[in-house]
Chain A
Amino acid sequence: MVEATSDTVKMGRRLIPKQELFAPGHRACAGCAEALAVRLACKAIGPNTIIVNATGCMEVVSSQLPTTSWRVPWIHTLFENTGAVASGIEAARKTLVKKRGIPDGGTHVVAMAGDGGTTDIGLQALSGMLERGHDVLYICFDNEAYMNTGIQRSSSTPYGAATTTSPAGKVSIGQVTWKKDLPEIAAAHEIPYVATACPSYPFDLMDKVTRGLAARGPAYVHILSVCPTGWRCNPELAIKVGKLAVDTGVFPLYEIVSGVYNLTVNVPELKPVSDYLSLQGRFRHLSPENIKQIQERVNKKYAALRERVKLTHEGIVV
């Protein structure tokens, strides 16, 4: 628990650390919800940490030599190896504490990567890190395409979205595959903690980062990060679009604690997906038929998630 001091600020009923470990002055686009998500995550993580960052938007906006936005030890190396670099750091720290007597102090190792660096090119290294049980919190900041290189589709791009490599055209609706479900893939490694989050629900996000850090062993938090540049939406709508992703059931907020599912933001009555899709230029070409398809898929997946919550709470393994 954060205690009320001159270093904290009260927001609603919550106390938030004032300290910005991800410093202002970075070069993210206007309305970048990923930068906000990183900022919030860093408040939950605190200064006693080492951050391992994949190549991607956050590396580019925060680390132009000779400047840095990072007030914690931070390392970027390549695109696809974040899980492996984090594994090496965690293994090294453990050994150095035991063997060379460096102070332990409970330093966290946190890996950060985008959806390309996680669901595509970095999936193998992530899987290795999770399978080997490294005590690392891995956070995927998912803006649903390769935004840094100019909005190319990834396996995390949703069905029907137009990107520069899945353009909508006379014979194509854009992305023709459904979004890869990385939280479920992470959960299949039977790690102690998996969660989804969105900066439009900031306290939920920070709580999940905190719980991920507290887990003994690997934790995976998948954060939907609205990208106004790539999603073709008004930058001032970033928070609203993120909230609609949750409220329509397109991106449910839940966690899996040692195999038990919790819907942390329960939406009893889902809003229609068109409320979410219509604010974004990347979906504007979709026909009512396409939107119906998406609605049906969301209904089905949300129902399945509710079912998992119910069954795992009743102790029935699914």
Chain B
Amino acid sequence: MHQNAGGEGKIAKRVGLEVSIAVAEAVKLADVDVVAAYPITPQTHIVEHLAELVANGELDAAYVPVESEHSAMSASLGAAAAGARAFTATAGQGLELMHEVLYAVSGMRLPIVMAVVNRALSAPISIWGDHSDVMSVRDAGWIQIFVENGQEAVDNVICAFRIAEDKDVLIPTMVNLDGFHLSHVIEPVTMPDEAGVGKFLPPLSYPFALRPDKPVTMGGFAPPGIYTEVKKGQEDALENSKKIVLKAWQEYGDIFGRYYHPVEHYRTEGMKTLLLTMGSYSETASLTIDRMRDKGMDVGLIRLRLWRPFPFDEIMQAVKGVDTLIVLDRAISFGGQGGPVGSELRSALYNLPKRPKVIDFIAGLGGRDVSPDDFENIVKRGMEMSRTDSIPAFQMYGVKE
């Protein structure tokens, strides 16, 4: 994932950048037309830097400093409907405030790209990271990608535009990066070169834009005789988007030398026990895997990069021959089956004739670290539990008693 391959045969330079700034630079490389944004920690550095780029004339775009996240997504919606390439970013409560607009955007098939800097939800108020925000909008009809480090954030923001805007997709896409643990750290990043991005990402040509010479009615109301068919079309489109996602990642890799996959494997060959993580904690988890393998314990790591559309085939492939799948969830589905990721995996695998036991741990809430030691404890505990007959729906790890 970290080769120094540059586009167009040049050697690209690796620079130290705060990840939020790098994300904003990626948005600049995508040459967006409209940025409508509202400040919220820990997302703010992204839109601050975009405002700076616009103010300095380095990015030719309209910057609309809206009065709320609801309006940030609504203004982005309007911009996309008018045929502009639109980007916004948010976090936590901001994503919640956007909630209903997210559904309108996907239902209207508008290819907006948004960076979600994952943050815990109130109450109690917490500005720190977990996945409660994005899990509450998992059914909103967006393509949802999780990234692990700064490089992946940069690459996937650019890929997100290409995926969302593909004529066979036209689905809004969000790139999830962990608040603070990722957004606020300085990492070595290879910025893709402009020529390469130009080749990879053609200018947007939205086929149904609002224009007086070709009037369209957008957002009419659907009586019961039509609504179901519209929703079926939307679900089919989201499902079909996976092959475009794969194609975009392949072509991106061919140009820039960094390839991405819906499910990433780390030392999984021949392993009967796998740990599954999402987002930046995956890097810590991979250190733990190295350590445990050095000690002779058989465990590998899979990382879920593509959350929507859910990569059923890749997951099934990944768990073939696996006995125990230990999941790290960073959100709670209150009163339900525990963590959203664990319960989705369990149900995805349920009809397989031979399936692993799914052991779901909830940890890393509200910015709490999950250290290599914690991961080791989680894996060990998961391995022990898999040998018993009573596996709880989930457990919260590291709760102070």
Contact = CB atoms under 8 A, between A and B. Distances in A.
Contacts of A132: 64-66
B216 interface: yes
A70 B78 contact: no
A85 B78 contact: yes
Contacts of B212: 47-50, 72-73, 105, 107
Contacts of B68: 124-125, 128
B34 A95 contact: yes
Given A88-B36, A89-B210, A92-B82, A77 B108 contact: yes
Interface stretch (B19-27, B157-165, B218-226, B273-281): B218-226
B57 interface: no
Contacts of B223: 64-65
A99 B60 contact: yes
A52 to B, nearest CB: 7
Interface stretch (B69-77, B304-312, B328-336): B69-77
Contacts of B83: 92, 96, 102
Nearest to B204: A100
Interface string A80-99: 11011111111111111011
Q: Chain B interface mostly helix, strand, loop or mixed? A: mixed
Interface residues of A, number: 50
Contacts of B66: 84, 87, 128, 132
Interface string B113-135: 00000000000000000000000
B295 interface: no
A29 interface: no
B314 interface: no
Determine the interface band of chain B, counting residues with CB < 8 A from chain A: 35 or more
A284 interface: no
A92 to B, nearest CB: 4
Contact of B84 (A63, A73, A92, A124): A92
A66 interface: yes
B203 interface: yes
B217 A70 contact: yes
Given A48-B212, A75-B210, A125-B71, A92 B218 contact: no
B104 interface: yes
Contacts of A74: 215-218
Interface in B57-100: 60-62, 64-68, 70-72, 74-84, 86, 100
A47 B213 CA distance: 9
B33 interface: yes
B36 A127 contact: no
18 contacts: A72-B215, A73-B215, A75-B218, A77-B74, A77-B108, A85-B74, A85-B81, A88-B74, A88-B76, A88-B79, A88-B80, A91-B62, A92-B78, A95-B33, A95-B61, A98-B60, A128-B68, A132-B65
Closest CB pairs A-B (n = 9): A88-B78, A88-B75, A63-B220, A84-B74, A84-B71, A128-B67, A92-B84, A81-B74, A92-B82
Interface of A: 47-50, 52, 59-60, 63-68, 70-78, 80-81, 83-96, 98-100, 102, 105, 107, 124-125, 127-128, 131-132
